[in-house]
């Protein structure tokens, strides 16, 4: 029987958050992948690429694996009760509850990170504590049936780790080889620890407004959790 794997799709999603693990998990034997959104109308990613849902959230089957990608479009979801109820409902019956990048904030807003170790994009890592999680700086973090991936390209690492859980290391390694996933970037700027101070400052300036909004939303959740 095929494993049902569902990815949440929403406007302004970071396309690579979705595409990386999608390609990995699509290569796992006996899986069926879904792109679930509020409606089946196409949505635009943050880079403008049009993505088409395969099922509406209302009509979605129970997923064995739920995955929430990230992106700037995450912010509206953090107070979207309909979406958060869908995520929490799916998580209750899922074998694995997962996220990539800032999709972890959606899991948090749905009440799924309390007491858990988790990771996300470096610009949002500290915000996880507002959702009751212990932030961990890593490419992929597993805590029970919760698996969270770091920023964007870490979705491939997360996908391979999950593939090994589902089908064994040999299968996961064959998928990695098939994708020729052997990162050798031209610059050592893929982490705030190795990028220049100027590069880090540039990214923080560019993402400042999104970060400010996330801070307010995280603080509001934390205050509600303490009431």
- Catalytic annotation, residues: 101
77 and 84 in contact (C-beta within 8 Å)? yes
Q: What does each C-alpha distance from 227 to 12, 128, 134, 222 come to in angstroms?
A: 32, 18, 20, 9
Tokens of 3: 């494993």
CA dist., res. 168 & res. 185, Å (int): 28
Helix (H) or strand (E) holding 3: strand 3-8
Strands 50-51 and 43-44 turn out to be antiparallel
Tell me which residue of 27, 13, 1, 44 sits closest to 181, measured CA to CA: 27
Using the CB atoms, write b or e for 42-53: b if 16+ within 10 Å.
Answer: ebebbeeeebeb
- Nearest CA to 118 out of 131, 99, 135 is that of 135
DSSP state of 78: T
The rounded radius of gyration (Å) of the Cα atoms in the chain is 17
């Amino acid at each position: 029987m095929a494993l049902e794997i569902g990815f949440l799709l929403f406007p302004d999603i970071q396309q690579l958050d979705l595409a990386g693990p999608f390609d990995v998990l699509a290569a796992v034997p006996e899986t069926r992948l879904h792109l679930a959104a509020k409606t089946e109308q196409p949505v635009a990613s943050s880079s403008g690429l049009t993505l088409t849902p395969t099922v509406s959230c209302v009509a979605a089957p129970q997923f064995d694996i739920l995955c929430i990608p990230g992106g700037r479009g995450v912010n509206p979801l953090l107070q979207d009760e309909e979406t958060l109820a869908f995520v929490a409902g799916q998580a209750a019956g899922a074998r694995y509850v997962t996220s990539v990048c800032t999709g972890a904030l959606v899991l948090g807003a749905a009440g799924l990170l309390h007491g858990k170790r988790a990771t996300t994009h470096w610009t949002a890592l500290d915000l996880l504590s507002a959702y009751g999680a212990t932030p961990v700086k890593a490419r992929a973090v597993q805590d029970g049936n919760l698996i969270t991936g770091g920023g964007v390209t870490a979705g491939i690492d997360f996908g391979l780790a999950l593939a090994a859980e589902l089908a064994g290391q040999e299968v996961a390694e064959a998928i990695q080889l098939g994708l020729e996933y052997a990162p050798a970037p031209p610059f050592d700027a893929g982490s705030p620890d190795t990028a220049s101070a100027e590069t880090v400052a540039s990214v923080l300036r560019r993402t400042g407004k999104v970060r400010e909004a996330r801070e307010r939303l995280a603080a509001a959740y934390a205050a509600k959790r303490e009431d």
